[in-house]
Structure 1
Amino acid sequence: MKQTTRRRRLSALAIAGLACSAALTACGSDDETSTTAADELGEMEGEVSILAWPGYVEDGSNDPAVDWVSSFEEETGCQVTSKVYGTSDEAFNLTKTGDYDVIAASGDLTLRMIAADQAAEVNTDLVPNYDLVFDFLKDQEWNTVDGKNYGVPHGYGANLLMYNADVVDEPTSWSVVFDESDQYAGKVTAYDSPIYIADAAMYLMATQPDLGIENPYALDEDQLAAAVDLLKQQRENVGEYWSDYLKEVSAFKTGDSVVGTTWQVIANTIDKPNIKVTLPEEGVTGWNDTWMISSQSQNVNCAYAWLDHIEDPEINAQATEYFGESPNSQEACDFASEGFCETYHAGDQEFSDQIWYWRTPVAECLDGRTDVECTDYSDWTKAWTEIKG
C-alpha cells in the first residue's frame, strides 16, 4: 500500500530530503506519495492523466473547433488521457485510485481531498500564469489550508434563481422555492447534491437569525436539522431534482419546471425571453473550481505544465466559455466572445462577494466556532438521502 508523506511545516533541509535529486526537481515514485510541493521542475515525463468535469479537457474529438489539449501536447510532449465525472462524490472515490495526476475539483471536493492526503501542495511560483488570476479567487478556504495553496483557480459561477416569467412574478427572495414553494407545487426544481443543503442554510441565515448560522457550510447538529426540515418541506413541491443541466433545460422548455436553482449557462441554452434569472436578496451559493495535483501523481512535471496551460488567458477563455462560467482573469476576457464576460460578471468583485462558494463541510467549524463540533460532509450525505426519501 502506498504511504503518504504529510508535512505542515517543511524546512529547506526537509524538502531536500524528499526531492528526487540534488536539483530539487519534481518527481514521481512508485513507492510513496507526497503532499509536499515541488521546489522546481524537471524533465517532462511524456504523459499526464486528468480527472475533470465534462467540458474541461477538450481535444477536438467532441467538436473539432473545441480543442485546447492538442496545443498542450505539442508544446510539452505530455500526452493527455482524461476521464470525466458527474459528481464530486464520484470524483473523490476516483482520486483514491491514484490513476490521475491532475483533478479539477469543486469546493465540495477540495477539502475532502486535502484532509485525506489525496492532494499535493502546489508551488504557484511554478505556474507563471497564476499571477494573472483575479485576487479574490486566490488564497481562499476552498483552495488554501494553513497558508498553503493546494491548486490554482479555474472558472467560477453562481447558482442563480431561474423562473418562468409567464407563471412566476419576478422573485426577490429564495422564499419562492422554500417557504412559498407550495404555490408552484410539482414545478419547483432543485440541484441534486448534498451540497444543496447550503442553499437552504443560506436562506435560513437571513430569515431565521436566531439559529445563529454565520456560514452555510458550517452547521452544527441543530442548524443542520433546521435546514433538513426546510428541505423536506420543499421536497413536497419539487417536481424533479437535477444534476445534468440538460435535464433542467428540457423541464423549463416544456413547462414541467417554472422556478428553481440554476446556472447562467442553462438560461442561455434555453434562450427564451420568458425564462429569466435573478440573484435573490439572501445571496447565492456557487463554485470556483480548482486544478489540483494528486499526491499520488507519477507525472508531476507534466501536471504543473497542465496547470500553467489551463491558466493561460487564451486557453482559460476557451475552456470557461465552452463550459459556461466566468474565466479567472481579466486578460482571459480579451479572448472571450463579445459580451461573454459581462454576462458572467467576470472580475466583478461586488457580484462575487454575494456568492457563498462551495466548501467541504468539516467537523472543525468553518465559521471559527470552537465550542461545538460541526457536521461534516458524510453527515450531509446521510441527510440528503433522508430529504429525498
Structure 2
Amino acid sequence: MIRATKRVARSAAAAAAVSAALLVLAACSGGGSTGGSAGSVPNVPMAKKLGTNEGQLNLIVWAGYAEDGSNDPKVNWVTPFAQNTGCKVNAKVAGTSDEMVQLMRTGDYDGVSASGDATLRLVYGGQVAPVNTKLVPNYTTISSFLKNKAWNSVDGQMYGIPHGWGANVLMYNKSTVTPAPDSWSAVFDDASKYAGKVTAYDSPIYIADAALYLKAHDPSLGIKDPYSLTEKQLDAAVSLLKKQKTSIGEYWSDYTKSVQSFESGSSVVGTSWQVIANLIQSDGKVQVGTTVPKEGSTGWSDTWMIAAKAKHPNCMYQWMNWITSPKVNAEVAEWFGEAPAQTKACEQTQDPTFCDTYHALDAGYASKIHYWTTPQTKCVDGSGNDCTAYSEWVTKWQQIKG
C-alpha cells in the first residue's frame, strides 16, 4: 500500500545497542518449508513463553505509530514503554507496504505494523512468525471482528495482533455533488459528471475497489471477494479503472494532498479516509460528507507482526501488549485518526465522541468493510487456486495509470 503520510507524525526513537534474545521457542504447525503466493506456510517457530527482555527493540512502523514526544511533547508512548520494560525502541518509518516487506526481508527488524496488502506476503515469505496470543494479555479484549481473519491469520493461527482499522469511505463536496451519493457509481459509471475532479487512492490494492463495485453491478462476473479475482474478473476491474481514469484529476497517497485538493476545489468526489474529512471540516473551508456506500467498502486493519528471526522477541511481545493496552491504543488512534482495535480504548479517548465517529465498536459497520488482503494465486477466500497474485495487480496498476 502507498500510504506515505496518513498521519501527522513523522518518526520515532533513536538507535540503541543490540543484545541477545532469551525467548524460548518451539515449533508450531504451519505447513511446509517453502512459502509463496500459492504454496504452504513456512514452518516458523512460535514463542511458548517469555524470557528476559533484551533491552532493545527494532521496529518498522507507519508514521505516527511509535511516537516518542519529538513531534509533540504531549504525544509519547515510546518513552513510558522503555521505562517500564527496559526495551529501548528504535523505529524506522516506512512509506509503503512494499517498503515494509523489503525491510523485513533484511532480517534487521523485530517487528512491523503491517497492513493487509503486506501481511500475507510476509507470512508466506517466511519473514514473520505465528503469534502466541496467550503471551499478549490485552489480546483478549481486542474487537472480535478483527481476529482470525484472512489478512492476519492462516488456518486459524494468528500471525499478529490487531492494532487499528478504518474504512475507505466515499467523500464528496456537499455543495457540488448533489444529491448526496450512496453508491460508488459516483466515481465509476457516473464519474464523467465530475470529469477532472474525481480522485482515487494511488495503489494496486485500489483494484479491489473496482472489483467490489462490479461484484454488485455485474453479477455475471461471479466476483465473491474483491481480493480473490480470476484473470477474467481482474481484467474486468482493470477495464473499469481505465475508463475511470479519463475522469480522474488526481491519484493520491499523501493524505495532506487529498485535503488540499478538496479545499482548493480541484477534487469534489472520491475515495478517502475519515481523518481526511475531519481535517477538512475542522478547517471550515469546504463542507464535505462521507459515506460507506450501499456496495460496501474496502478498508485497512493494521497488524503488529513479529519477525521470524527477531533478535529481541521478548521486547517485541512486550510491545505488542503495550501498544494494544487501552490507554496507549486510545492515544495512537486519536493521534493517527483510526478506530482502535482495543475495545477498552474507547473509555480512554480524550474526545468522548471519538469512537462513535470512527465506529470503533460497531460490528455492523465493520462488517461492511472488505479489509485489504494480499491477493494470492491460492484464492484468499478459499474458493480455489486460480486467482491472480499481487504481483499481477502491480503490473495491471501500472498499465492503468499509463
TM-score (norm 2): 0.88
* 1:274 and 2:274 are equivalent in the alignment: no
* 1:285 and 2:298 are equivalent in the alignment: yes
Displacement of 1:102 in angstroms is 1.0
Displacement of 1:132 in angstroms is 0.9
Q: In the alignment, which residue of structure 2 is the partner of 1:112?
A: 121
Secondary structure class of the residue paired with 1:119 = coil
Displacement of 1:104 in angstroms is 0.3
Letter in 1 for 2:323: I
Displacement of 1:89 in angstroms is 1.1
1:202-351 counterparts in 2 under 5 A?
A: 202-271=212-281, 272=284, 274-336=287-349, 337-351=351-365
Secondary structure class of the residue paired with 2:90 = strand
Displacement of 1:98 in angstroms is 1.0
Deviations 1:234-262 (A, max 9, x none): 11111111111001000000001000000
Contact 1:199 1:216 in 2 (8 A): yes
Cα distance change, pair 367–330 in 1 and its aligned pair in 2 (3 A): closer
Greater mean deviation of Cα atoms: 60-69 or 266-275: 266-275
Contact 1:89 1:109 in 2 (8 A): yes
Secondary structure class of the residue paired with 1:136 = helix
Distance in 1 of aligned mates of 2:226 and 2:106: 31
Contact 1:166 1:274 in 2 (8 A): yes
Secondary structure class of the residue paired with 2:54 = coil
Contact 1:326 1:341 in 2 (8 A): yes
Q: In the alignment, which residue of structure 2 is the partner of 1:140?
A: 149
Contact 1:26 1:41 in 2 (8 A): no
Secondary structure class of the residue paired with 2:237 = helix
- RMSD of equivalent CA atoms: 1.4
Letter in 2 for 1:270: I
* 1:366 and 2:380 are equivalent in the alignment: yes
Distance in 2 of aligned mates of 1:95 and 1:330: 29
Q: In the alignment, which residue of structure 2 is the partner of 1:25?
A: 24
Displacement of 1:183 in angstroms is 1.0
Unaligned runs of 5+ in 2: 1-20, 27-41
Quick one: which of 379, 382, 388 aligns to 2:392?
Answer: 379
Paired residues, number:
362
Distance in 1 of aligned mates of 2:310 and 2:240: 42
Q: In the alignment, which residue of structure 2 is the partner of 1:178?
A: 188
Letter in 2 for 1:347: L
Distance in 1 of aligned mates of 2:312 and 2:115: 22
Letter in 2 for 1:239: G
Q: In the alignment, which residue of structure 1 is the partner of 2:370?
A: 356
Query: Which consecutive segments of 4 or more residues in structure 1 shift more than 4 A?
Result: none
Letter in 2 for 1:108: D
Contact 1:218 1:361 in 2 (8 A): yes
Secondary structure class of the residue paired with 2:348 = coil
Distance in 2 of aligned mates of 1:157 and 1:181: 24
Deviations 1:193-226 (A, max 9, x none): 0000000000000000000000000000000000
Secondary structure class of the residue paired with 1:266 = helix
Contact 1:218 1:374 in 2 (8 A): yes
Deviations 1:366-385 (A, max 9, x none): 23223x51000000000000
Q: In the alignment, which residue of structure 2 is the partner of 1:388?
A: 401
Secondary structure class of the residue paired with 1:120 = coil
Displacement of 1:66 in angstroms is 0.5
Q: In the alignment, which residue of structure 2 is the partner of 1:126?
A: 135
Distance in 2 of aligned mates of 1:354 and 1:65: 35
Displacement of 1:26 in angstroms is 5.1
Secondary structure class of the residue paired with 2:52 = coil
* 1:158 and 2:171 are equivalent in the alignment: no
Distance in 2 of aligned mates of 1:277 and 1:136: 23
Distance in 1 of aligned mates of 2:213 and 2:380: 18
Secondary structure class of the residue paired with 2:322 = helix
Displacement of 1:148 in angstroms is 1.2
Secondary structure class of the residue paired with 1:39 = strand
Displacement of 1:34 in angstroms is 7.6
Distance in 2 of aligned mates of 1:168 and 1:61: 41
Contact 2:128 2:307 in 1 (8 A): yes
Q: In the alignment, which residue of structure 1 is the partner of 2:38?
A: none
Distance in 1 of aligned mates of 2:103 and 2:193: 41
Contact 2:191 2:244 in 1 (8 A): yes
Percent identity over the alignment is 54
Distance in 2 of aligned mates of 1:314 and 1:35: 32
Secondary structure class of the residue paired with 2:376 = coil
Q: In the alignment, which residue of structure 1 is the partner of 2:65?
A: 56
1:91-102 counterparts in 2 under 5 A?
A: 91-102=100-111
Contact 2:300 2:371 in 1 (8 A): yes
